[in-house]
Amino acid sequence: ETGVTQTPRHLVMGMTNKKSLKCEQHLGHNAMYWYKQSAKKPLELMFVYNFKEQTENNSVPSRFSPECPNSSHLFLHLHTLQPEDSALYLCASSQDPPGQTGGYTFGSGTRLTVV
* CA gap 29, 25 in Å, rounded: 8
Among 30, 71, 95, 108, binds another protein (CB under 8 A): 108
For the CB of residue 41, give the shortest distance to another protein in the complex, in Å. 6
From residue 39, give the alpha-carbon distance in Å to each of 62, 84, 86, 88, 92.
Answer: 23, 12, 10, 9, 19
For the CB of residue 43, give the shortest distance to another protein in the complex, in Å. 4
Residue 84 near residue 19, CB atoms below 8 Å = no
Greatest distance between any 2 Cα atoms in the chain: 43
| Binding-site string for another protein from residue 5 to residue 44, where x marks contact by CB under 8 A and - marks none | -----------------------------------xxxx-
Number of chain positions touching another protein (CB under 8 A): 23
The reply on whether position 62 binds another protein by CB under 8 A is no
Closest CA to 96 of 60, 55, 42: 55
For the CB of residue 34, give the shortest distance to another protein in the complex, in Å. 13
Binding site for another protein (CB under 8 A): 2, 4, 40-43, 45, 56, 90, 96-100, 102-109, 111
